Amino acid sequence: MRTMPNYANPADFLRLVRAAAPVTATITAILFGIGLYLALLDSPPDYQQGETVRIMYLHVPSAWMAMFVYVVMSSAALGTLVWRHPLADATQKAAAPLGAAFTFLCLVTGSLWGKPEWGTWWVWDARLTSVFVLFLIYLGIIALWQVIEDPGKAARLVAVFTLVGAVNIPIIKFSVDWWNTLHQSASVFRMGGPTIAMSMLWPLIFMTFAFTFLFLTLHMLAIRNEILRRRIRRLSMLAASASEAGIPAIFAEPAQ
């Protein structure tokens, strides 16, 4: 009955990565090529913001990735807690630094966009502030990964925290929005959603897909790294227990 390879099996997954990674990497490169051409050369400057609008083609896709990666991580967290599957653990762990990097990029580009638009490097604008809190949560997750030795236990504990964060993030978003209206920031920057010009929409779409495929490629490669890391851990523990059990010296590494 099982004619399809089972990609939940780490060995099959490694084979999948070997086949798929070059393909997605090529797609990523093509999308970036088109996206950057449209964003930098083929789209007009905004009539109000001038050239700075080009930062949007980095800022919006990375904001999207910041949320998308968290969704991926939360789904993997469910997989860890419900099925206790090692691949779900690896998926979770590999996503966290990538998500943090995209969130960081979103904050930095937002700041670089804010300086010419608002006159300061940082504004406690509702959207920026929520992303900032998301960044802190990502850093907390990475810190939790680093301090717990046993990978299975770390995965389950991080999964609990990730899901608690997933419940909390909409609440944080809502309260930060409310807080912002309360304090009425001087210049609320609006990005007109549907009124955006077509000439700006296309580069935005291509850049968003480019970022998504970049993440998919790097995520696959990072999951492969985690699988290898676990394998090394298992092998070295086996080797250590074998040498402790009094295996004759020829089994140990030969002294040169």
Of 11, 82, 178, 241, the residue at the interface with other proteins (CB under 8 A) is 178
Q: Quote the tokens at residue 219.
A: 């995520």
Residue 77 CA from chain centroid, whole number: 14
58 lies in the site for other proteins, by CB under 8 A: yes
Torsion sign, CA atoms 69, 73, 79, 82: negative
Query: Is the backbone of residue 2 left (phi > 0), alpha (psi -120 to 50) or beta?
Result: beta
Binding residues for other proteins restricted to 142-161, rule: CB under 8 A: 143-144, 147-148, 153, 156-157, 160-161
Supply angle C-alpha 183, 186, 189, rounded to 5: 105
CB-wise, 5 or 116, nearer to other proteins? 116
Nearest distance, CB of residue 183 and other proteins, angstroms: 8
Contact characters 220-249, other proteins, x per CB under 8 A: -xx-xx--xx-xx--xx-xx--x----x--
Contacts with other proteins by CB under 8 A: the residue count is 70
Nearest distance, CB of residue 217 and other proteins, angstroms: 9
Where would I find the H helices in 119-197?
A: 126-147, 151-183
CA nearest 187: which of 109, 117, 111? 117
Residue 232 CA from chain centroid, whole number: 25
Cα gap 204→195, rounded to integer Å: 14
Residues at the interface with other proteins (CB under 8 A): 40, 45, 50-52, 54-55, 58-59, 62, 81, 97-98, 101, 104-105, 108-109, 112-113, 115-116, 133, 136-137, 139-140, 143-144, 147-148, 153, 156-157, 160-161, 163-165, 167-168, 171-172, 174-176, 178-179, 182, 214, 218, 221-222, 224-225, 228-229, 231-232, 235-236, 238-239, 242, 247, 250-254
